[in-house]
Structure 1
Amino acid sequence: MLSSSRLTTLTGVGGVGKSRLALRVARGAQRGFRDGAWLVELARIQAPSVLGTAVAGALGLREVSTRDAETVLADHLADKQLLLLLDNCEHLVDECARLVTALLAVSPGLRILATSREPLGAAGEHVWQVPPLSVLDAEDAHGSSAPGDLRYEALSLFELRTAAVLPGFAVDSDNLATAARLCQRLEGLPLAIELAAVRMRALSMEQILSRLDDRFRLLTGGSRIEPPHHRTLRATFDWSYDLCSEQQQALWRRMSVFAGGFSLDAAEAVCADEHLSPHEILGCVAGLVDQSLLAREETGSAVRYRLLETVRQYGHQRLRESDDEAALRLRHRDYYLRLAEQAEADWFGPRQLDWLEILHAEHPNIQAALEFCLAEPGGTRAAQRLAGALWFYWIAHGLLTEGRHWLDQALALGQEPGAERVKALWVNGYIATRQGDNSAALAMLEECQDLAQLLGDDAALVRGLQMTGLAELMHGDHARGVKLLEEALVHHRAAGEPNANLALTVFYLALAVCTRGDLDRAVALCQECRQMCESCGERWSLSRTLWILGLAQWARGEPRQADDNVRGSLRIERVLQDPISIALCVEVLGWIAAAEGKPRRAATLFGISRRLFEPLSEFLFGFAYYLDWHDQAEARARQALGDSGFDNAFRHGRGLDLPAATAYALEEKPRAGRAGAARSSSPLTRREREIAELVTQGLSNKEIASRLVIAKRTVDAHVEHIFTKLGLNSRIQVAAWMAQQNARDDRSG
């Protein structure tokens, strides 16, 4: 399929096994693609406007520029030879068709494998309908020997799944005819067979068949145009639904508002009401897990739940028939608004990395809540409030383009003056500054200050001042930038306690005075901010502070101290996964290498930095001071290597992917070539070690699944085994353990 068509779509009814087949095809084909195979799980994406963002994220691209995600994708894929697997496209058919058409037009080496209940309708699409599993005709089963007939896929799956819930079960000559009739009644649909197998814990095959027959009789009075496979799956779901308690039925319906996974706390907050109390939720969740209607996923010490997409869609149909969907979506929105504001309040402290991990897991639900706010009449204030509360997430996690997308929409749709708009303006102005869009940033920040004065909101006015100071600094008005940052610092110090806004002002003022040449004050401000961050257990502001401290020390002629601090910043950023901050660290390490007489390392680092800055409209934000320092360091390295030598090293750096580039900048040895003896002492299997390496690089379970082209639930299981074997309960601890192991391997190698 993939060799004859650049776009292949596997179609079929829900539950027929499209995703499973596509994953198997991708795994088998990935070696034939120079740049690998990448999985994009679209079931969790409910907002059509973020389709491009989701695909970019699965490819490991962080959107930080003012360009739209589709443009970033087109540029990235233009010279790539890879397989892109788009799974579950049916709710985004039109958007997927437009995107794949655009990407295939600019990338000759791209092949796309999609799964959908219907074709995408794109030009050149090759459609292959996934058939159900092969079944043994019940009439032919009499007198047959079971072992030989297990070559029929449906029977084999039924036996396997039933044995998992009923140990010792086997299809034999006594029950073969009944099993064949059951699989035939379910038309070989894998999901229907699996749901039936779960019921074998309490019912016999004959009882299951009887109840299914009742359901089929009800359905035959309905639409005659509905395809038989659709009626089969609906009958199976109706039957499964009827076997649930009233509370379980209500929870199944209500859980369909979640996008992707959710926590027990979220289920209790969103799904409970006077008819289903919070203390009943856990029992209902356990019951739905036992019935294989709800998947349980563990990540470290956290447990999350997820409805299979076909199960979720059935629940959503039932939700529309019974409950007040609008009220449920309001509760969903309010829960994630509270979560975002709780994370913001707790951001400057020791739980910072935990909050990033929580919000990363809840990202699809946050997107769904924002989409609901923008679509709901009168919901723009809530959208401004939610997107504004997440300022630290957009910035620290390298999600500038997405944060700007939501804030731009919320500000455009809601023009009414209010505290929500004031905050959305300074947050969006900050993001625009980080993107190098300084003119837009200054316009938004001016409106922010005017509106804050009108409302008498002194706290927002000070935040507007500090962000305007940064924007003016980056725009080239150094004196005004310093003046505004100094003014903001006075107000923040008067508050009397360390917080994110004080830290932001201190380290940006340190940057401003550093570029002015007041290096001693820059170092003093950084030391103050460093002590504040370390005393609070904060990491993100600490990383920025270490970077600016390293910059000032480099300018003072202290390359060794500078190198230590910039590397410290880079180690934090590797976990935070902000590519622009990583690029800044790599860039300054290049300046340090040039000063220390290491021109080849400097040229390689400059190649890395240049590639990482490509998503932005201007290299190094177009900031004159950075550009001057870069030019001086590059000239020194070029003079030492000659143009040819410099260009070769530069191209080498430019060709490194992010994990390899970060390892090079930190002068870590590549992991792939570890000695077998060293590996054999590890309690982890080779696959677990591979996944642990990717955890150390800061990848989420979803991103690891995309990288290795395996199901996310498989990664979840491996990560849980890693935690169990090592006696750990966080990804940070895994990273520390891997660092110790790699250091030991280095010494032994």
Structure 2
Amino acid sequence: MTGVRHPVIRTPDQRLRVFVSSTLRELAEEREAVRAAIERLRLAPVMFELGARPHPPRELYRSYLAQSDVFVGIYGSSYGWIAPDEEVSGLEDEYNLAPRAMPKLIYVKAAEQREERLAGLIARIQADDTAAYLHFERAEDLEDQVAADLAMLLAERFDESRLAEIDPPEAGGSLVGKVPVPYTTTIGRDADITAVRDLLARGTDRVVSLIGPGGIGKSRLAIETALACEELYPDGVYFVLLEGVLEAGLLLPTIAYYLGIRDNGEAALEERIAHALAERKVLIVLDNFEQIVEAAPALVRLYNVAPTATFLVTSRIVLRIRGERVYEVPALTTPVGHAPASLDPDTRTAAVALFVDRAQAIDPAFGVTADNAGALADICRSLEGLPLAIELAAAKVRILSPAGIAERLGESLPLLTAAVRDLPERHRTMRATIDWSVSLLPEEQRDLLEDLGVFATRFTLDAVEAIGSGRSWDGQAIDALAALVDGSLVKQHDMGGRRVFALLAIVREYALGRLKARGDADRVRLAHADHYCRLVKSVAPDLGGLGQAEAVARLGLELPNLRAAVRHLVYTNRLDDAGDFAWSLLIYWWISGFFAEVRLWMLELLEKQHEQPITQHTRAVAWFFALWGEMWQRPSEQVVAGLGECVRLFTESGDQDAAAMALAARATARVQLSDPDADKAEAELRAAVTKLRELGNGWAEAITEVSLGRLAWVRGATDDALAHFDRATEVAEAGDDLFTTSVAGNLRSRLNFQLGRIERAEEEFVHTLLLSIRLHYDEGVAYGLEGVCAVAAAHGEAWRAAALAVAAGEIRRRIGIFDVEAFTVHTPYLEILRGRDPASVEAGEAAGAELTLAEAVHLALPASVYAEVADALRTW
């Protein structure tokens, strides 16, 4: 049910009206149940008491429907009477006359036989993307179901009503990959947006690169173009922020992260991304590519294996790769010659309009006058129409008049640009403008800005205060940060319920350069790393149990700075600290799928061990992460031996816990070999479980029990497999480990289904689906939907089963899960239904392809259960 702009509905105290369609005699009891549900919510039922009959004129039907806000249809076995001279019954006529935009809730009662024309009507409704379609069996079940659905519909419409009036705030991890919404007006870029959109619409260029100096507005142009191109890319537009990504090897992991692909190491990321993008017409924006321009060849490989994907890149330098179309981003127009700024807003140049807009955010009374028009024109010309430079200058109207700003720029810019002759012209102007803007700050605020350069894309006040010990601004962080925000040098917004701050890339680059020149960079980097080490130490214990979902979400918000912290630790030769940092977050890397990134850091660590000796424990950690992907993608006896060396190093360093986990990994590696030794692998897994149980590591014990269960299932020992899955679930639930409970529960439910225990399997599928939603775990949601699909197929619900199968498949494709699922249970039953009822299966598959994730979950879950996760799904 996508693609429909829902109407904003009235509040309950304005008596929202619900039209009820049904056959009166057959469904009298059900009609009363629906009436009770509507009145329970203090809404008004619109029920034509003669039933759905053709005698009344259509104008009367239309009148009833015109007064209604929601359509509820109840269908049983009977199609209803067709009057003389009519082609359809009143039941179908009511549905036909309901406006397409009207929300429709359809309830179909279970029946052994259904009249053929009613079956045809229901099939048509199933394919209608404006109708929600649910089954029920008894009238007493219907009241609660309808009440819950109406309440949910109200909540969704009120949310949409609010969002239609205000800009939605950024919500954190749930919005990863979405195009950011600009917080200020975009001025003077209409022609550029049209030009770049036209380039993309031609479809002849695989990469369109927006090229220009820092501060010229490449990112803003990319954002606005992406928003203007959404209809060109029906399969999605993704925004990948490369700011803070400094290693070329992190390009693919970063793209995967923003696409929602979990890197569990089981396949090469390039393959997963290619699979996720296969036959999908998507636009991927790669912002700030200049930092890793040497990774450009990987982009060529990517677009070769994903021929329907297009890339929009922002960079200060040309990528120089095949398939690239370069668009030079121009500066904003400025008054020509020595002309003053126009007093007429309609003839004002873009640069002046931008200055006025940003100045009015500080002083609403600000405007262009005969007295300041000349100064405004001089400001915009001296800043060469660079948007960021103009914004920085406009921020000074708080303390200076336009004439004062123009005078100081005229004195400072020539001197400052002369000092940086090694930069291209507009780079010099932008750098000089930042220098000038910073020079007007008190010393403490200048020092704070420079120190902020060590942070990644965003940071919190707590983090700022944590690095302030001994700095000139120590104890003044709040006021100094507020002043930098006022000066447009620092941006602020809300994310995940927290106030966060950010520097633009060029300002961060400037700040870090000043910090290095002062000789303080390493000192502040260490303070940054120490803060995030403390943060990780406080959060990591929650990853294995109670508070797991919250811990994963918290670390997700901090991910850019976690990356920066590891980089600082490795760069400053605190290699053992880097190893401890990476190992303490093992569960987070596992759940969220960041093994490729960690592997890159650990390989860099191993290369530096000649400069700075490392402990055996650190060496074991580094090799463990380095071998993880090899174990799945390129299994060999050498990998098995390498993990055996990790077992030895962990053991000799006294970490029996880590040694047991490495032993379990070695057993898994044995199973991946072309000639696996299953007996030896099982023995190692059992030994690891015993040791982990002794040590009280419930998370690792449970996940290892899952491995034992999978191995037993593959070997045909289903009783043993169930016992291991039961034990894994028991241990995981005891420790409030949602992730492993979901993984173990999903496998156990599939095996129970395969063994014919349908009802028990259904309960478990629903439970694990709910857990996966709480964890924001796409892969688990796909498995859960497939499980419910299997149950629906076993019950003969062809349309529902087919819709769920396709919806789950869409999730699998989107996140790049393409490896063969050895434990699939839903496809055989679905194929049986395809032979029995091909029309319903075909209609279900068509509908499933259009379902949003929330709609698919709604279709899978009972209404009362769906209400538990509705809020979480709204921001998915």
Give TM-score scaled by structure 2 length. 0.67
Amino acid at match of 2:458: G
Larger mean Cα displacement after TM superposition, 392-401 or 470-479: 470-479
Q: Does 1:216 align with 2:413?
A: yes
User: Aligned match of 1:419 in 607, 611, 617?
Assistant: 617
**1:307 deviation in Å?**
0.3
Q: Distance in 2 between matches of 1:471 and 1:664?
A: 36
Alignment of 1:474-553 (within 5 A): 479-495=679-695, 499-505=698-704, 507-508=706-707, 516-518=717-719, 521-522=723-724, 525=727, 528-529=730-731, 531-534=733-736, 538-551=737-750, 553=752
Q: CA, structure 1 residues 429+589, in 2 after alignment: closer, same or farther (shift >3 Å)?
A: farther
Query: Which structure's CA Rg is the greater one?
Result: 2
Q: Distance in 2 between matches of 1:71 and 1:585?
A: 24
Alignment of 1:591-670 (within 5 A): 591-593=790-792, 595-598=794-797, 612=812, 615=816, 618-620=819-821, 626=823, 630=825, 634-642=827-835, 645=838, 652=845, 656=849, 660=852, 663-664=855-856, 667-668=859-860
Q: Does 1:282 align with 2:478?
A: yes
Contact 1:388 1:407 in 2 (8 A): no
Q: Distance in 2 between matches of 1:102 and 1:431?
A: 20
Contact 2:705 2:724 in 1 (8 A): no
User: Aligned match of 2:399 in 186, 202, 207?
Assistant: 202
Equivalent position SS for 2:543: coil
Equivalent position SS for 2:243: coil
Q: Distance in 2 between matches of 1:402 and 1:231?
A: 35
Contact 1:47 1:367 in 2 (8 A): no
Q: Distance in 1 between matches of 2:435 and 2:275?
A: 47
Q: Does 1:23 align with 2:23?
A: no
Q: Distance in 1 between matches of 2:596 and 2:840?
A: 31
Q: Which residue of 2 aligns with 1:161?
A: 358
Larger mean Cα displacement after TM superposition, 22-31 or 161-170: 22-31
Q: Count how many residue pairs are aligned between Structure 1 and Structure 2.
A: 664
Contact 2:802 2:848 in 1 (8 A): no
Equivalent position SS for 1:574: helix
Contact 2:465 2:474 in 1 (8 A): yes
**1:597 deviation in Å?**
4.5
**1:312 deviation in Å?**
1.0
Q: Distance in 2 between matches of 1:228 and 1:405?
A: 37
Deviations 1:452-493 (A, max 9, x none): 333343333333344445556777655545544444444444
User: Aligned match of 1:395 in 576, 590, 597?
Assistant: 590
Equivalent position SS for 1:256: helix
Q: Distance in 1 between matches of 2:562 and 2:545?
A: 23
Equivalent position SS for 1:667: helix
Q: Distance in 2 between matches of 1:637 and 1:736?
A: 28
Amino acid at match of 2:647: Q
Q: Distance in 2 between matches of 1:670 and 1:252?
A: 53
Q: Does 1:299 align with 2:299?
A: no
Amino acid at match of 1:314: Y
Deviations 1:261-287 (A, max 9, x none): 1222322334x2423364233332222
Alignment of 1:54-453 (within 5 A): 54-96=254-296, 98-137=297-336, 139-141=338-340, 146-147=343-344, 151-219=348-416, 221-222=418-419, 226-270=423-467, 272-276=468-472, 278-373=474-569, 378=573, 380-407=575-602, 410=605, 418-425=616-623, 442-453=640-651
**1:101 deviation in Å?**
3.0
Q: CA, structure 1 residues 644+425, in 2 after alignment: closer, same or farther (shift >3 Å)?
A: farther
Q: Which residue of 2 aligns with 1:463?
A: 661
Q: Distance in 2 between matches of 1:263 and 1:154?
A: 32
Q: CA, structure 1 residues 254+523, in 2 after alignment: closer, same or farther (shift >3 Å)?
A: closer
Q: Distance in 2 between matches of 1:230 and 1:392?
A: 43
**1:389 deviation in Å?**
2.2
Q: Distance in 1 between matches of 2:292 and 2:627?
A: 32
**1:296 deviation in Å?**
1.3
Contact 1:47 1:371 in 2 (8 A): no
Contact 1:432 1:441 in 2 (8 A): yes
Q: Which residue of 1 aligns with 2:196?
A: none
Q: Distance in 1 between matches of 2:324 and 2:708?
A: 55
Equivalent position SS for 1:518: helix
Give TM-score scaled by structure 1 length. 0.77
Q: Which residue of 2 aligns with 1:674?
A: none
Equivalent position SS for 2:200: coil
Q: Distance in 1 between matches of 2:348 and 2:793?
A: 67
Amino acid at match of 1:22: A
Q: CA, structure 1 residues 251+311, in 2 after alignment: closer, same or farther (shift >3 Å)?
A: same
Q: CA, structure 1 residues 108+557, in 2 after alignment: closer, same or farther (shift >3 Å)?
A: closer
Q: Distance in 2 between matches of 1:288 and 1:51?
A: 31
Deviations 1:371-415 (A, max 9, x none): 455556x55544433332221112111334444444455557659
Q: Distance in 2 between matches of 1:224 and 1:507?
A: 62
**1:112 deviation in Å?**
3.0
**1:582 deviation in Å?**
4.0
Q: Distance in 2 between matches of 1:481 and 1:647?
A: 45
**1:306 deviation in Å?**
0.7
Larger mean Cα displacement after TM superposition, 604-613 or 363-372: 604-613
Q: CA, structure 1 residues 355+563, in 2 after alignment: closer, same or farther (shift >3 Å)?
A: same
Contact 1:10 1:129 in 2 (8 A): yes
**1:293 deviation in Å?**
0.7
Fraction of identical pairs, as percent: 28
Contact 1:653 1:661 in 2 (8 A): no
Q: Distance in 2 between matches of 1:313 and 1:238?
A: 12
Contact 2:416 2:435 in 1 (8 A): no
Q: Distance in 1 between matches of 2:329 and 2:619?
A: 50
Q: Distance in 1 between matches of 2:718 and 2:277?
A: 42
Deviations 1:49-92 (A, max 9, x none): 11122223333333344554344434444533333322222222
Amino acid at match of 2:352: L
Q: CA, structure 1 residues 401+147, in 2 after alignment: closer, same or farther (shift >3 Å)?
A: same
Q: CA, structure 1 residues 300+606, in 2 after alignment: closer, same or farther (shift >3 Å)?
A: closer
Alignment of 1:34-49 (within 5 A): 34-49=234-249
Q: Which residue of 1 aligns with 2:110?
A: none
**1:444 deviation in Å?**
3.9
Amino acid at match of 1:336: Y
**1:294 deviation in Å?**
0.7
Contact 2:807 2:853 in 1 (8 A): yes
**1:308 deviation in Å?**
0.8
Q: Which residue of 1 aligns with 2:758?
A: 559
Amino acid at match of 2:321: A
Q: Distance in 1 between matches of 2:526 and 2:226?
A: 39
Structure 1 alignment gaps of length 5 or more: 672-696, 698-731, 743-749
**1:35 deviation in Å?**
2.7
Contact 1:84 1:113 in 2 (8 A): yes
Q: Distance in 2 between matches of 1:245 and 1:478?
A: 69
**1:522 deviation in Å?**
4.6
Q: CA, structure 1 residues 197+145, in 2 after alignment: closer, same or farther (shift >3 Å)?
A: closer
Equivalent position SS for 1:84: strand
Q: CA, structure 1 residues 69+370, in 2 after alignment: closer, same or farther (shift >3 Å)?
A: farther
Q: Distance in 2 between matches of 1:433 and 1:145?
A: 67
Q: Which residue of 1 aligns with 2:188?
A: none
Relative contact order, higher structure (CA 8 A, sep 6+): 1
Q: CA, structure 1 residues 737+440, in 2 after alignment: closer, same or farther (shift >3 Å)?
A: farther
Contact 2:239 2:287 in 1 (8 A): yes
